[in-house]
Copies of this chain bind each other. A is one copy, B any other.
């Protein structure tokens, strides 16, 4: 049985599966599909064709084994989900976040408040994103990655988590993405390799390939990225 607030506006074409909770002043547009158990908190607007709370499903060929059950997706207050957004089960989203068209976030991620994930951004499993962080269009955020507060990641940025590039079995002890500390800025089409730590308030230039740790308050550029100056 669902709990849908009488003050929510749910399009007649929205498919709300069992056990969903929709709080007051939520607006759900046409052809949205919400999977069982999902929670959508007050004031959030969900545009057409979004899919919320779907569990990950594999035909048995993924190297990382999926769980039998995931906690429900929780979407916080006063978020905006643009058309075609897909958020998976087991993920928790804070308040006042904006998701661009066709953005997709996989299972067991935690996203804070007031973030922007723009169009076609894909975020993989078990990644943590802080508050006030922006990730621009067509970038990919890998699994097992940590991104702090007030981070800016520009368009078409690549991040990865596996130095063996799938040549060995999945092992979470060696498969994890970068740690990006608070107030970091990353330029367009930068390439952030696994395991690096990008220190607080550092700036990564457009097109840089970051192969090792970046000290805080430094600007790095180039391939491979090298320190060129302090952040002014």
Q: Is the CB of A120 within 8 A of B98?
A: no
> Could you say which residues of chain B place their CB within 8 Å of the CB of A207?
191, 209, 223
Of the residues B62, B114, B154, B223, contact of A223 by C-beta under 8 Å: B223
Q: Is the CB of A134 within 8 A of B166?
A: yes
Q: Is the CB of A191 within 8 A of B189?
A: yes
Which A129-144 residues have C-beta < 8 A from chain B? 132, 134, 136-140, 142
Of the residues B49, B154, B160, contact of A155 by C-beta under 8 Å: B160
Q: Is the CB of B59 within 8 A of A98?
A: yes
Which A40-58 residues have C-beta < 8 A from chain B? 45, 47-49, 51, 54, 57-58
Known: A122-B138, A152-B167, A188-B191. 19 other contacts (CB 8 A): A15-B31, A47-B54, A49-B51, A57-B80, A58-B80, A59-B97, A60-B96, A61-B114, A84-B84, A100-B104, A119-B122, A134-B166, A138-B138, A142-B155, A155-B159, A155-B160, A156-B158, A160-B187, A165-B185
